[in-house]
Chain A
Amino acid sequence: MKIKVCGMKHPENINAVSQCEPDFMGFIFYKKSPRYVLDKTLVFAKEMNPNTKTVGVFVNSPISEVLEIVQEYNLNFVQLHGNESVDYAKKLYNAGVNLIKAFQVNKNFDWDKIKDYKPFVNYLLFDTATKSYGGSGLKFNWELLRNYKEEIPFFLSGGIEIDDAEMIKEIDLPQLFAIDINSKFETEPGVKNEELVNKMINTIRMKSKYQVNDKGFYGEYGGAFIPEMLYPNIKELQESYEEIIQSDSFQEELQALLKDYVGRPTPLYYSKRLSDHYKADIYLKREDLCHTGAHKINNALGQILLAKKRNKKRIIAETGAGQHGVATATACALMGLECVVYMGAKDIKRQAPNVARMKMLGASIVPVTSGSQTLKDATNEAIRDWINNPTDTHYLIGSVVGPHPYPDMVAKFQAVISKEIKNQIKENPTHIIACIGGGSNAIGAFYHFLEDEDVELIGIEAGGMGIDTPETAATLALGSQGVLHACMTTVLQTEDGQVIEPHSISAGLDYPGIGPQHAHLHKTKRVKYSNITDQEALDAAHFLSHMEGIIPALESSHALAYLEKMEIKPTDRIIINLSGRGDKDLETLTKTIKE
């Protein structure tokens, strides 16, 4: 659900409210309104954070005046709040203006009159009917919305206050796109109480049907299925993580590190040759250019700061491909903390360069010889270490898996990927594609687009030798519901609940579970999941190396390979999250170079 804060007037107040990052900010160009904009307001609105779209609200103004203002102040949207005719809307729309048409609703409202506006508006807005044009601070009977049968998404407006958040969440209408808040969040007309606005934004965003609920679940997935030995540790983390990571001092420190140490923002690279080849616009989100060579560092730095704030002296981690191990060892070196990395004996062999890097960074590496000797068993051993060291140790989980709050916490640290994408694009992409083992780079790339239903999100699992063989790691394709690593999710398992050892050529995807949020996004069909075989991923790695001079990680190659399988239209704008670079995979890759 999106949030529009309307009736902004004073520069300092705009600045304060924009820190809360509402999706839309409205400026009123109706002279009779007490919230009518000031000249200085508008100069400021021009410099708005690109995550917040600007909306000019007009009431029966001459079209030429509207167009002039839109152009002068780069307004993203125009909201027509008077009795503007269909023809009026058509003229503006055809002039390239994005339109929101407001309607004042009461029990006598004629829902049919919306129909004629449909071709010429992007959104509708339903406000309470009044004698003047809105601004009554009163709600209309929201039950009336059931009469709305069109597909165009709408803003809900009129007297919304902080206590309405829960009720809004329960409105079960897919077209409800955003809420419009105004007078109930003010200290005086035109002056918003930024704390109250922030609280509303957080409550509404937290309550997204795709995000974790207050019990730690995503629908039926998630939770914390932990033995009592871990209870105090997890409980404390659950209760403190949000406050810590949302605090200004934490964010300042993290943002500084992400910028100067990691090298963020990472580029969103328009790949000309791939675009020519696939006959559509193809972009690569270059997480491979992060310090340490993959997105994993985003989360490792976030959690290491959290561990420091919680006075932990020792860091443990599991790793598959070694990217998370390297990121953790790097973060530990940076902060001067002891680092122990659990890694499957099989993975130690196939990811030797990363093992060497971790050693160079001063981490101890514990080879795990139980079970499949890969990521699953490394995770088991890390959890056992944590059980044995419950007070001084932080377990730095590398993916959106494990007990609550890890899936949410890791997602929040990786969400920087999609946040940057939003700033780097003018209009939403048609598709975002990312590979999935546990699913952290994918959640990161999807996070800020989950509510943008016009963007098709695609997660690619490792098909291994093929999903019709036992040699696969395609959890969502073949798994069933169960508990793995302390969360309810989808698991590759036998009927009796024994976890099946997966297979993928890529150590980072070789995992028999998946983050609970992905299980939920799969169940709710918000994200489409598919899979790519070892061979297809290898081919894609060679292809990108030749086409763009970029050697991708085998994990990310799964996402790239999907371009071969999908139906692409010339109008598509496709973003591939290039989660890591392929240096670590050179041994595997060079064996398959065609002479």
Chain B
Amino acid sequence: MLQELFKNTKEPLLNIYFTAGYPQLNSMPEILEGLVNSGVDMVEIGMPYSDPLSDGPTIQNSSSIAIKNGITTDMIFDQLSKCPSNISKIMMGYYNAVYLYGVEKFCEKCKDNGVSGVILPDLPIDIYLKEYKGIFEKYGISNIFLITPETTESRIRYIDECSTSFIYAVSSSSTTGKGTGIQSAEGYLRRLKGMNLTNPLMVGFNISTKEDFDFASTYTAGGIIGSAFIKHIAGSKNLTQDTETFINSIREKK
């Protein structure tokens, strides 16, 4: 499904991250409705974790609020099952939660609930290949790997070989929401474009405005916005409407 999305869409793709269970325990349907209405291509559902090492203060804070709200992995799947839509869905989280949930059970639940990709930044590729690749394939779940400006060319090529939908290109060596400016990644994005990789690239980290998104999209298939969106919906009284307002500020409705 992810593969088809990339194949069939000529326009830059917009992927929005939000933390499940935030701002309220049951906010997911409203947020998803806004995202679907405003024509977002992909959603990345964050599974909150108490110790998110790759995340800056914004996503850390949304995660700890969500945990306080009482969110669990099962509840995330339950919420997803209640708001079916055709939008491409990815789950993003840390390995520990998936490990404790059981990798096979997790993949099965993903499949049942229309999730076609998973991002686990702290699951090493060699362990994935050795232990879990078969399980992911059995349920048709694509494991999405990250690359950064520090990743060597040979490793990027290796990750490209291991990827089955797209590669998540982190725009700077940083935690999320650092706001160092996407423009400084130009050399890196240009280099990536020149590598003619098999899998499409989506750029994440440091994208918060239309300009950032357009800039990233010049070199890649599109961009991922997380922290900026989380900030936007903090304290929202009308999540669906506020979500649409945010998306429309990034990209005109298709």
8 A Cβ contacts from A54-108 to B: none
Asked if A227 meets B64 with Cβ closer than 8 Å, knowing A482-B96, A499-B50, the reply is no
- Return chain B residues, CB-CB under 8 Å to A485: 51, 53
8 A Cβ contacts from B69-116 to A: 72-73, 94-97, 99-101
Interface residue B60 (Cβ < 8 Å from any Cβ of A): yes
B124 with A225: CB separation less than 8 A:
yes
Query: Interface-forming stretch among A131-139, A228-236, A418-426, A457-465?
Result: A228-236
B101 to chain A, nearest CB (A): 7
- Return chain A residues, CB-CB under 8 Å to B100: 480, 482, 493, 495-497
Interface membership of chain B positions 130-151, coded 1 if the CB is closer than 8 angstroms to chain A and 0 otherwise: 0000000000000001111011
- Return chain B residues, CB-CB under 8 Å to A388: 173-175, 178
B101 with A390: CB separation less than 8 A:
no
Interface residue B239 (Cβ < 8 Å from any Cβ of A): no
Interface membership of chain B positions 151-187, coded 1 if the CB is closer than 8 angstroms to chain A and 0 otherwise: 1100100000000000000100111001000000000
- Return chain B residues, CB-CB under 8 Å to A387: 53-54, 173-175
Interface membership of chain A positions 488-499, coded 1 if the CB is closer than 8 angstroms to chain B and 0 otherwise: 000101011111
- Return chain B residues, CB-CB under 8 Å to A493: 96, 100
Interface size of A by CB at 8 A reads: 34
8 A Cβ contacts from A325-377 to B: 370-371, 376-377
B174 with A370: CB separation less than 8 A:
no
The complex places the Cα of A376 from the Cα of B173 at a distance, in Å, of 23
Pick from B56, B60, B122, B147: contact of A226, CB under 8 Å: B122
The complex places the Cα of A370 from the Cα of B72 at a distance, in Å, of 20
Asked if A484 meets B122 with Cβ closer than 8 Å, knowing A387-B175, A495-B100, A496-B73, the reply is no
The complex places the Cα of A224 from the Cα of B126 at a distance, in Å, of 11
A498 with B50: CB separation less than 8 A:
yes
- Return chain A residues, CB-CB under 8 Å to B155: 231
Interface residue B123 (Cβ < 8 Å from any Cβ of A): yes
The complex places the Cα of A370 from the Cα of B122 at a distance, in Å, of 21
B131 to chain A, nearest CB (A): 11
Interface residue A405 (Cβ < 8 Å from any Cβ of B): no
Interface residue B22 (Cβ < 8 Å from any Cβ of A): no
B72 with A496: CB separation less than 8 A:
yes
B124 with A223: CB separation less than 8 A:
yes
Interface bin, chain B = 35 or more
Interface residue A530 (Cβ < 8 Å from any Cβ of B): no
- Return chain A residues, CB-CB under 8 Å to B174: 229, 387-388
A232 with B151: CB separation less than 8 A:
yes
- Return chain B residues, CB-CB under 8 Å to A484: 51, 96
> Which applies to chain A's interface (DSSP): helix, strand, loop or mixed?
mixed
A483 with B60: CB separation less than 8 A:
no
Interface residue B121 (Cβ < 8 Å from any Cβ of A): yes
B206 to chain A, nearest CB (A): 12
A380 with B51: CB separation less than 8 A:
yes
Interface membership of chain A positions 100-131, coded 1 if the CB is closer than 8 angstroms to chain B and 0 otherwise: 00000000000000000000000000000000
The complex places the Cα of A224 from the Cα of B122 at a distance, in Å, of 8
- Return chain A residues, CB-CB under 8 Å to B97: 496-498
The complex places the Cα of A225 from the Cα of B53 at a distance, in Å, of 11
- Return chain A residues, CB-CB under 8 Å to B49: 497-498
Pick from B51, B64, B95, B173: contact of A390, CB under 8 Å: B173
The complex places the Cα of A376 from the Cα of B52 at a distance, in Å, of 12
Pick from A376, A377, A483, A499: contact of B122, CB under 8 Å: A483
A371 with B51: CB separation less than 8 A:
yes
- Return chain A residues, CB-CB under 8 Å to B73: 496-497
Residue of chain B at shortest CB distance from A216: B124
A486 with B178: CB separation less than 8 A:
no
A370 with B123: CB separation less than 8 A:
no
Interface residue A37 (Cβ < 8 Å from any Cβ of B): no
B74 to chain A, nearest CB (A): 8
B51 with A223: CB separation less than 8 A:
no
- Return chain A residues, CB-CB under 8 Å to B127: 223
Q: What are 22 A-B contacts defined by CB distance under 8 Å? A: A225-B95, A225-B122, A227-B54, A227-B122, A227-B146, A228-B145, A228-B151, A229-B173, A232-B152, A377-B51, A384-B54, A384-B175, A485-B53, A495-B100, A496-B72, A496-B73, A496-B97, A496-B101, A497-B94, A497-B101, A498-B49, A499-B51
By a beta-carbon cutoff of 8 Å, the part of chain A in contact with chain B is 223-229, 231-233, 370-371, 376-377, 380, 383-384, 387-388, 390-391, 480, 482-486, 491, 493, 495-499
By a beta-carbon cutoff of 8 Å, the part of chain B in contact with chain A is 49-51, 53-54, 56-57, 60, 64, 67, 72-73, 94-97, 99-101, 121-124, 127, 145-148, 150-152, 155, 170, 173-175, 178
- By Cβ-Cβ distance, the 6 closest A-B pairs, closest first, are A497-B97, A227-B121, A497-B100, A228-B146, A483-B96, A498-B50
